[in-house]
Homo-oligomer: A and B are copies of this chain.
Protein backbone atom coordinates (compact mmCIF):
# COMPACT_ATOMS: atom_id res chain seq x y z
CA UNK A 1 0.00 0.00 0.00
CA UNK A 2 1.23 3.49 -0.85
CA UNK A 3 0.01 6.49 1.15
CA UNK A 4 0.38 10.16 0.25
CA UNK A 5 -0.90 13.46 1.68
CA UNK A 6 -2.47 16.18 -0.44
CA UNK A 7 -2.55 19.57 1.26
CA UNK A 8 -4.34 22.76 0.24
CA UNK A 9 -3.08 25.68 2.33
CA UNK A 10 -5.45 28.59 2.03
CA UNK A 11 -6.24 31.98 3.48
CA UNK A 12 -9.09 30.72 5.66
CA UNK A 13 -8.30 27.03 6.19
CA UNK A 14 -5.89 24.20 5.44
CA UNK A 15 -7.19 20.88 4.10
CA UNK A 16 -5.17 17.65 4.22
CA UNK A 17 -6.28 14.47 2.43
CA UNK A 18 -4.76 11.04 2.98
CA UNK A 19 -4.84 9.14 -0.32
CA UNK A 20 -3.73 5.73 -1.61
CA UNK A 21 -1.94 4.87 -4.85
CA UNK A 22 -5.20 4.57 -6.77
CA UNK A 23 -6.23 8.10 -5.83
CA UNK A 24 -8.80 7.03 -3.23
CA UNK A 25 -9.34 9.50 -0.40
CA UNK A 26 -8.98 7.59 2.88
CA UNK A 27 -9.39 10.42 5.39
CA UNK A 28 -9.39 14.18 5.79
CA UNK A 29 -8.14 16.75 8.32
CA UNK A 30 -8.60 20.52 8.58
CA UNK A 31 -6.38 23.20 10.09
CA UNK A 32 -6.49 26.99 10.30
CA UNK A 33 -5.22 29.41 7.64
CA UNK A 34 -1.72 28.74 6.28
CA UNK A 35 -1.05 31.70 3.98
CA UNK A 36 2.34 32.22 5.63
CA UNK A 37 2.99 35.56 3.92
CA UNK A 38 0.13 37.09 5.86
CA UNK A 39 -0.04 35.11 9.09
CA UNK A 40 3.63 34.18 9.46
CA UNK A 41 5.62 30.97 9.19
CA UNK A 42 4.94 29.69 12.71
CA UNK A 43 1.15 29.97 12.46
CA UNK A 44 1.21 28.36 9.00
CA UNK A 45 3.34 25.51 10.34
CA UNK A 46 0.86 24.84 13.14
CA UNK A 47 -2.09 24.89 10.72
CA UNK A 48 -0.43 22.42 8.34
CA UNK A 49 0.66 20.13 11.19
CA UNK A 50 -2.86 20.20 12.64
CA UNK A 51 -4.44 19.28 9.30
CA UNK A 52 -1.96 16.39 8.81
CA UNK A 53 -2.36 15.07 12.35
CA UNK A 54 -6.15 15.11 12.07
CA UNK A 55 -6.16 13.28 8.73
CA UNK A 56 -3.73 10.64 10.07
CA UNK A 57 -5.49 10.18 13.44
CA UNK A 58 -8.84 9.81 11.75
CA UNK A 59 -7.49 7.06 9.49
CA UNK A 60 -5.58 5.19 12.22
CA UNK A 61 -8.48 5.35 14.68
CA UNK A 62 -10.85 4.15 12.02
CA UNK A 63 -8.66 1.21 11.01
CA UNK A 64 -7.36 0.55 14.49
CA UNK A 65 -3.78 0.82 13.20
CA UNK A 66 -1.06 2.46 15.25
CA UNK A 67 1.41 3.40 12.52
CA UNK A 68 1.39 4.54 8.90
CA UNK A 69 4.13 5.13 6.31
CA UNK A 70 3.78 8.24 4.16
CA UNK A 71 5.61 8.05 0.83
CA UNK A 72 4.48 11.27 -0.77
CA UNK A 73 3.32 14.78 0.08
CA UNK A 74 1.89 17.41 -2.24
CA UNK A 75 1.12 20.92 -1.04
CA UNK A 76 -0.23 24.02 -2.72
CA UNK A 77 0.04 27.49 -1.19
CA UNK A 78 -0.77 31.00 -2.39
CA UNK A 79 2.23 32.98 -3.56
CA UNK A 80 4.54 30.00 -4.08
CA UNK A 81 6.28 30.38 -7.39
CA UNK A 82 9.57 32.03 -6.71
CA UNK A 83 12.73 30.27 -5.50
CA UNK A 84 12.63 32.01 -2.09
CA UNK A 85 9.08 30.85 -1.43
CA UNK A 86 9.95 27.33 -2.41
CA UNK A 87 12.79 27.22 0.13
CA UNK A 88 10.61 28.73 2.84
CA UNK A 89 8.01 25.98 2.38
CA UNK A 90 10.71 23.30 2.18
CA UNK A 91 11.99 24.41 5.59
CA UNK A 92 8.48 24.68 6.96
CA UNK A 93 7.70 21.11 5.89
CA UNK A 94 10.92 19.83 7.48
CA UNK A 95 9.79 21.37 10.78
CA UNK A 96 6.34 19.85 10.42
CA UNK A 97 7.87 16.42 9.78
CA UNK A 98 10.31 16.75 12.67
CA UNK A 99 7.55 17.60 15.15
CA UNK A 100 4.84 15.28 13.81
CA UNK A 101 3.25 12.34 15.63
CA UNK A 102 5.31 9.22 16.26
CA UNK A 103 2.58 7.26 14.48
CA UNK A 104 3.79 8.67 11.14
CA UNK A 105 6.75 6.99 9.49
CA UNK A 106 7.96 9.48 6.88
CA UNK A 107 9.40 7.92 3.72
CA UNK A 108 9.35 10.99 1.48
CA UNK A 109 11.62 11.23 -1.55
CA UNK A 110 12.54 14.38 -3.46
CA UNK A 111 10.28 13.31 -6.36
CA UNK A 112 7.33 12.70 -4.09
CA UNK A 113 7.55 16.01 -2.21
CA UNK A 114 5.68 18.41 -4.47
CA UNK A 115 5.44 22.12 -3.58
CA UNK A 116 3.23 24.14 -5.91
CA UNK A 117 1.23 27.33 -6.04
CA UNK A 118 -2.44 27.26 -5.07
CA UNK A 119 -3.41 27.72 -8.72
CA UNK A 120 -1.53 24.58 -9.86
CA UNK A 121 -3.25 22.30 -7.34
CA UNK A 122 -6.59 23.95 -8.10
CA UNK A 123 -6.02 23.23 -11.82
CA UNK A 124 -5.02 19.61 -11.30
CA UNK A 125 -7.71 18.96 -8.71
CA UNK A 126 -10.40 20.76 -10.65
CA UNK A 127 -9.70 18.99 -13.94
CA UNK A 128 -8.36 15.68 -12.56
CA UNK A 129 -5.46 16.22 -14.95
CA UNK A 130 -3.09 19.07 -15.75
CA UNK A 131 -3.99 20.40 -19.19
CA UNK A 132 -6.52 23.20 -19.29
CA UNK A 133 -7.43 26.31 -17.36
CA UNK A 134 -8.62 27.08 -13.85
CA UNK A 135 -10.58 30.27 -13.27
CA UNK A 136 -10.54 31.19 -9.59
CA UNK A 137 -12.93 33.87 -8.31
CA UNK A 138 -13.25 33.89 -4.55
CA UNK A 139 -12.01 36.71 -2.34
CA UNK A 140 -9.35 37.25 -5.02
CA UNK A 141 -9.20 36.13 -8.64
CA UNK A 142 -6.72 34.44 -10.91
CA UNK A 143 -6.75 32.61 -14.20
CA UNK A 144 -4.12 29.95 -14.68
CA UNK A 145 -3.56 27.50 -17.52
CA UNK A 146 -1.19 24.79 -18.68
CA UNK A 147 -0.94 23.12 -22.09
CA UNK A 148 0.28 19.65 -23.05
CA UNK A 149 3.82 20.96 -23.55
CA UNK A 150 3.86 22.04 -19.91
CA UNK A 151 3.79 25.75 -20.74
CA UNK A 152 1.88 27.84 -18.22
CA UNK A 153 0.22 31.25 -18.26
CA UNK A 154 -1.23 33.25 -15.41
CA UNK A 155 -3.43 36.35 -15.66
CA UNK A 156 -4.50 38.34 -12.61
CA UNK A 157 -3.93 37.21 -9.06
CA UNK A 158 -2.26 40.51 -8.19
CA UNK A 159 -4.14 40.95 -4.94
CA UNK A 160 -6.79 43.38 -3.81
CA UNK A 161 -4.79 46.60 -4.35
CA UNK A 162 -3.17 45.75 -7.69
CA UNK A 163 -5.79 43.68 -9.48
CA UNK A 164 -8.07 40.72 -8.70
CA UNK A 165 -10.62 41.93 -11.24
CA UNK A 166 -13.81 39.87 -11.20
CA UNK A 167 -13.27 38.64 -7.62
CA UNK A 168 -15.55 38.91 -4.61
CA UNK A 169 -13.44 41.82 -3.38
CA UNK A 170 -13.75 43.51 -6.78
CA UNK A 171 -17.55 43.18 -6.72
CA UNK A 172 -17.80 44.36 -3.10
CA UNK A 173 -15.48 47.35 -3.40
CA UNK A 174 -17.09 48.38 -6.69
CA UNK A 175 -20.43 48.30 -4.89
CA UNK A 176 -19.15 50.39 -2.00
CA UNK A 177 -17.53 52.92 -4.37
CA UNK A 178 -20.73 53.13 -6.41
CA UNK A 179 -22.80 53.79 -3.27
CA UNK A 180 -20.48 56.64 -2.25
CA UNK A 181 -20.36 58.09 -5.77
CA UNK A 182 -24.13 58.03 -5.85
CA UNK A 183 -24.21 59.76 -2.45
CA UNK A 184 -21.82 62.42 -3.81
CA UNK A 185 -24.01 62.96 -6.86
CA UNK A 186 -21.42 61.46 -9.20
CA UNK A 187 -23.62 58.49 -10.08
CA UNK A 188 -27.36 57.92 -10.38
CA UNK A 189 -29.61 56.60 -7.66
CA UNK A 190 -28.96 53.04 -6.47
CA UNK A 191 -30.49 50.65 -3.96
CA UNK A 192 -26.93 49.80 -2.89
CA UNK A 193 -27.08 52.69 -0.39
CA UNK A 194 -30.04 51.42 1.67
CA UNK A 195 -28.82 47.83 1.30
CA UNK A 196 -25.36 48.57 2.73
CA UNK A 197 -26.84 50.79 5.44
CA UNK A 198 -29.21 48.05 6.53
CA UNK A 199 -26.69 45.22 6.36
CA UNK A 200 -24.00 47.14 8.24
CA UNK A 201 -26.41 48.87 10.58
CA UNK A 202 -25.27 52.37 9.58
CA UNK A 203 -27.09 55.63 10.27
CA UNK A 204 -25.67 57.11 7.09
CA UNK A 205 -23.61 55.87 4.18
CA UNK A 206 -20.67 58.15 5.12
CA UNK A 207 -20.08 55.77 8.03
CA UNK A 208 -18.68 53.26 5.54
CA UNK A 209 -15.39 55.01 6.31
CA UNK A 210 -15.80 53.90 9.91
CA UNK A 211 -16.38 50.28 8.85
CA UNK A 212 -13.66 49.97 6.25
CA UNK A 213 -10.80 51.96 7.81
CA UNK A 214 -11.33 52.43 11.53
CA UNK A 215 -12.69 48.97 12.31
CA UNK A 216 -9.83 47.67 10.20
CA UNK A 217 -11.88 45.26 8.13
CA UNK A 218 -9.87 42.52 6.45
CA UNK A 219 -9.96 41.89 2.71
CA UNK A 220 -12.16 38.74 3.10
CA UNK A 221 -14.56 40.75 5.28
CA UNK A 222 -14.90 43.43 2.60
CA UNK A 223 -15.22 40.74 -0.10
CA UNK A 224 -18.12 39.19 1.81
CA UNK A 225 -20.17 42.29 0.92
CA UNK A 226 -20.32 40.99 -2.67
CA UNK A 227 -23.47 39.18 -1.55
CA UNK A 228 -25.13 42.57 -0.89
CA UNK A 229 -24.29 43.75 -4.43
CA UNK A 230 -25.75 40.45 -5.68
CA UNK A 231 -28.95 40.88 -3.63
CA UNK A 232 -29.46 44.41 -4.98
CA UNK A 233 -28.71 43.24 -8.53
CA UNK A 234 -31.32 40.46 -8.24
CA UNK A 235 -33.88 43.13 -7.39
CA UNK A 236 -33.16 44.80 -10.72
CA UNK A 237 -30.85 47.65 -9.66
CA UNK A 238 -29.06 48.81 -12.79
CA UNK A 239 -25.84 49.94 -11.10
CA UNK A 240 -25.46 46.70 -9.13
CA UNK A 241 -26.12 44.64 -12.26
CA UNK A 242 -23.50 46.59 -14.16
CA UNK A 243 -20.93 45.74 -11.47
CA UNK A 244 -21.73 42.00 -11.67
CA UNK A 245 -21.56 42.10 -15.47
CA UNK A 246 -18.23 43.95 -15.38
CA UNK A 247 -16.85 41.23 -13.09
CA UNK A 248 -17.97 38.57 -15.59
CA UNK A 249 -16.45 40.45 -18.52
CA UNK A 250 -13.13 40.82 -16.66
CA UNK A 251 -12.97 37.06 -16.02
CA UNK A 252 -13.98 36.26 -19.61
CA UNK A 253 -11.35 38.63 -21.01
CA UNK A 254 -8.64 37.15 -18.77
CA UNK A 255 -9.69 33.58 -19.67
CA UNK A 256 -9.55 34.42 -23.37
CA UNK A 257 -5.98 35.69 -23.03
CA UNK A 258 -4.85 32.51 -21.27
CA UNK A 259 -6.58 30.35 -23.92
CA UNK A 260 -4.98 32.27 -26.77
CA UNK A 261 -1.50 32.16 -25.29
CA UNK A 262 -1.48 28.39 -24.61
CA UNK A 263 -3.81 26.65 -27.05
CA UNK A 264 -4.40 26.38 -30.78
CA UNK A 265 -7.39 28.31 -32.16
CA UNK A 266 -9.54 25.19 -32.67
CA UNK A 267 -8.30 23.11 -29.76
CA UNK A 268 -10.98 22.18 -27.24
CA UNK A 269 -9.98 23.53 -23.83
CA UNK A 270 -11.35 22.36 -20.51
CA UNK A 271 -11.94 25.24 -18.14
CA UNK A 272 -12.78 24.66 -14.50
CA UNK A 273 -14.32 27.40 -12.38
CA UNK A 274 -13.61 27.61 -8.65
CA UNK A 275 -14.55 29.94 -5.85
CA UNK A 276 -17.41 31.52 -3.99
CA UNK A 277 -18.24 34.07 -6.67
CA UNK A 278 -19.26 31.37 -9.15
CA UNK A 279 -21.38 29.61 -6.55
CA UNK A 280 -22.71 32.54 -4.55
CA UNK A 281 -23.70 35.14 -7.12
CA UNK A 282 -26.97 34.65 -8.96
CA UNK A 283 -26.44 33.16 -12.45
CA UNK A 284 -22.76 34.10 -12.37
CA UNK A 285 -21.62 30.70 -13.63
CA UNK A 286 -24.13 30.49 -16.47
CA UNK A 287 -23.54 34.10 -17.53
CA UNK A 288 -19.77 33.49 -17.48
CA UNK A 289 -20.19 30.42 -19.74
CA UNK A 290 -22.49 32.27 -22.11
CA UNK A 291 -20.16 35.24 -22.36
CA UNK A 292 -17.04 33.09 -22.78
CA UNK A 293 -18.66 30.89 -25.46
CA UNK A 294 -19.45 34.03 -27.42
CA UNK A 295 -15.72 34.77 -27.79
CA UNK A 296 -14.24 31.25 -27.51
CA UNK A 297 -16.81 28.78 -28.91
CA UNK A 298 -14.64 25.71 -28.22
CA UNK A 299 -14.31 26.45 -24.50
CA UNK A 300 -15.66 23.58 -22.39
CA UNK A 301 -16.47 24.95 -18.94
CA UNK A 302 -16.80 22.35 -16.19
CA UNK A 303 -17.42 22.35 -12.46
CA UNK A 304 -14.52 21.06 -10.34
CA UNK A 305 -14.10 17.26 -10.56
CA UNK A 306 -12.09 17.21 -7.32
CA UNK A 307 -10.93 19.70 -4.72
CA UNK A 308 -7.48 21.42 -4.79
CA UNK A 309 -6.12 19.20 -1.97
CA UNK A 310 -6.89 16.21 -4.19
CA UNK A 311 -4.85 17.85 -6.95
CA UNK A 312 -1.93 18.18 -4.51
CA UNK A 313 -2.29 14.49 -3.62
CA UNK A 314 -2.28 13.25 -7.21
CA UNK A 315 0.77 15.40 -7.99
CA UNK A 316 2.58 13.55 -5.18
CA UNK A 317 1.35 10.16 -6.47
CA UNK A 318 2.48 11.13 -9.94
CA UNK A 319 5.96 11.86 -8.57
CA UNK A 320 6.03 8.26 -7.32
CA UNK A 321 4.90 6.93 -10.71
CA UNK A 322 1.36 6.12 -9.59
CA UNK A 323 -2.14 7.18 -10.64
CA UNK A 324 -2.65 9.12 -12.78
CA UNK A 325 0.48 8.15 -14.69
CA UNK A 326 0.73 11.28 -16.83
CA UNK A 327 -0.25 14.68 -15.54
Contacts and interface: CB of A to CB of B under 8 A. Distances in A.
Given A158-B209, A173-B161, A212-B159, A257 B184 contact: yes
Given A184-B257, A185-B261, A186-B253, A159 B209 contact: yes
Contacts of A158: 177, 180, 208-209
Nearest to A143: B184
Interface in A57-116: 79
Contacts of A1: none
B254 A186 contact: yes
A213 B177 contact: no
How many copies of this chain does one complex carry? 2
Interface string A156-179: 101101110000000001001100
Instruction: Specify the main secondary structure of chain A where it touches its partner.
Output: helix
A325 interface: no
A155 interface: yes
Contacts of A184: 154-156, 254, 257
A35 B185 CA distance: 27
Contacts of A213: 37, 159, 161
Contacts of A37: 213-214
A181 interface: yes
Nearest to A161: B212
A155 B185 contact: yes
Interface string A265-276: 000000000000
Contacts of A254: 184, 186
Contact of A163 (B154, B155, B180, B253): B180
Contacts of A156: 184
Contacts of A212: 159, 161-162
Interface in A251-295: 253-254, 257, 261
A53 to B, nearest CB: 29
